[in-house]
Amino acid sequence: MEVPVLTNGELVTIAALGVVASVIALCIYDDRLPQGAAIEIGSRAVTIIEENAVGLTPTTWEPARKAVMEHIGKVRSRKELYAQLRIALQTLDDNQHSFALTQRDWRSYVQAAEGKTDESLSKSGALAEVQPLDEVSGIIEIRVPPFMAIAPDMQWLYAERLASAVTATVELPTSPSRLCGVIVDLRETGGGNSIPASWVLGRALLGHSNVRYRDRSGLEVLLDQDAVRRGLNVRDLSTSLDQVHKRLQGLPLAVLVGPQTVSASEAIAAMLWSSPAAVLVGQRTAGMTTANGIFELPDGGVLALAVYRFVDPQGKAVKGPLIPDVLVDDLKDARSAATAHIRSRGVCRAS
């Protein structure tokens, strides 16, 4: 193979183009703030926090608010301003998901998330393992993989693949000759965008996909409505998932959870737990039982903070981890504990 050789003139041209590209990038993004902009952006951020954050405690927030307003009058760059906003966010309860990013950093974050999603979807077929636990127990196991950050335009593909895997396992002739229960494994699912998985699992196992949230005023919000608002096209999958639900309805449901059941997967666990037939099995979850809101600031940057808490089967807002009904010392024993629970129920039907 011939190796291309560049002349000095060509090298100089390439170097010059690199310099030009750098200059253009600097012109496009200016870190400096016009006079008065920091006050405008900071004041808007403070208002957003005070109107929406579920983790705001007046005794800790008021000193933070005063400090922010004092410092932002002195900052001259976006980097300094957003650093001050991040310090303020750390004073909130449930701040694990909170962040403040400049417009440039937010775009980089979104691009990185979309890249990871594309890579995951291209490498993974059904994006979940859905199969009979063994040949005799009559138990179907659904292992849900990490969500990561599923980009909006990829939500439909994720939902389609997960729905296909669930439907195929329950409907095909290779399914168990009898059905006795379902295990959903969320032990390593982590956080991210839960909308596609919650819609599929909710429709298949519960007949609905209403992940229940409550905002700081006490108003309850259903994620299923939010999914429609976001434009997730679910109608084409509804019929097959409704058929799956008819076959599985009333069977014992065991949801495996642990410390790596975080945020979005905690929301799904709480949703499935709302079924009278469901139990949680394993260890305490991570305790990030909130949902974020993303707010745009005047300069195009964003502020993310916890604006909803999950609601448990008793209708109470969850603060902290989900505590399983069946606790195990070693998380590796969760599957066998779930199997024992399902068998103890003695509910089986021909498939």
Phi, psi of 22 (to 5 degrees): -65, -40
Q: Are residues 217 and 181 in the same domain?
A: yes
Please answer whether residues 200 and 165 qualify as being in contact, where contact means their C-beta atoms are separated by less than 8 angstroms: no
In a domain, 149, yes or no: yes
Range of the domain at 133: 124-286+321-350
175 and 258 within one domain: yes
Is 15 contained in some domain? no
Same domain, 187 and 247: yes
For 339, the token pair is 């199997």
The reported pLDDT for the residue numbered 325 is 96
Which CATH number does the domain housing residue 171 bear?
A: 3.90.226.10
Residue where one domain finishes, among candidates 72, 103, 134: 103
- Residue 23 pLDDT grade (very low, low, confident, very high; cuts 50, 70, 90): very low
Looking at the fold, whether 209 and 340 belong to one and the same domain comes out as: yes
Task: List pLDDT tens digits, range 262-309.
Answer: 888 998 998 899 899 999 999 999 988 888 888 999 999 999 988 888
Mark whether 225 and 134 lie in a shared domain: yes
Residue 44 domain-assigned? yes
Contacts of 215 (CB under 8 A, 6+ apart): 52, 54, 221, 307, 308
The answer to whether 196 and 265 are in contact (CB under 8 A) is no
- List strand residue ranges (DSSP E) for 59-209, in order: 99-101, 129-132, 139-143, 178-179, 181-185
The residue out of 52, 71, 103 marking a domain boundary is: 103
* 212 within some domain: yes
Percent of the chain at pLDDT > 90 equals 31
d(CA 114, CA 101): 17
Asked if residue 165 and residue 59 are part of one domain, the reply reads no
Asked whether the beta carbons of 328 and 81 are under 8 A apart, the reply is: no
Percent of the chain with pLDDT over 70: 77
> Would you state the structure tokens that stand for residue 268, as one six-digit string?
């799904």
The average pLDDT across 102-121 equals 73
For residues 164 and 95, membership in a common domain is answered with: no
The residue among 273 and 114 whose pLDDT is bigger is 273
User: Has residue 119 been placed in a domain?
Assistant: no
Do 161 and 77 lie in one domain? The reply is no
The answer to whether the CB of 271 falls within 8 A of the CB of 198 is yes
The pLDDT of 11-34, averaged and rounded, is 49
Alpha carbon of 295 to those of 36, 78, 166, 309: distances in Å? 21, 17, 35, 18
The CA-based angle 221-225-231, given to 5 degrees, is 135
Q: How many domains does the chain have?
A: 2
**Same domain, yes or no, for 46 and 147?**
no
Residues 271 and 137 in one domain: yes
Decide if pLDDT at 52 tops 60: yes
| Other beta carbons less than 10 A from residue 142's beta carbon | 24
Tell me which of 4-8, 48-52, 203-207 is least confident.
4-8
Q: Would you give the DSSP letter of residue 102?
A: -
pTM: 0.75
For residues 96 and 133, membership in a common domain is answered with no
Instruction: Mark whether 55 and 142 lie in a shared domain.
Output: no
Domain final residue pick, 103, 138, 155: 103
| Mean pLDDT, rounded, for 53-59 | 88
DSSP, res 153? G
**137: which 2 tokens?**
């127990």
- Give the tens place of pLDDT for each residue, 143-195: 887 765 556 666 777 777 888 888 887 765 445 567 889 999 999 888 877 77
Residue at 310 is within a domain? no
Burial class of 40 by CB neighbour count within 10 A (0 to 12, 13 to 18, 19+): middle
End-to-end CA separation in angstroms for the chain: 61
Q: Is residue 293 part of a domain?
A: no
Q: Examine residue 227 and state whether it is found in any structural domain, yes or no.
A: yes
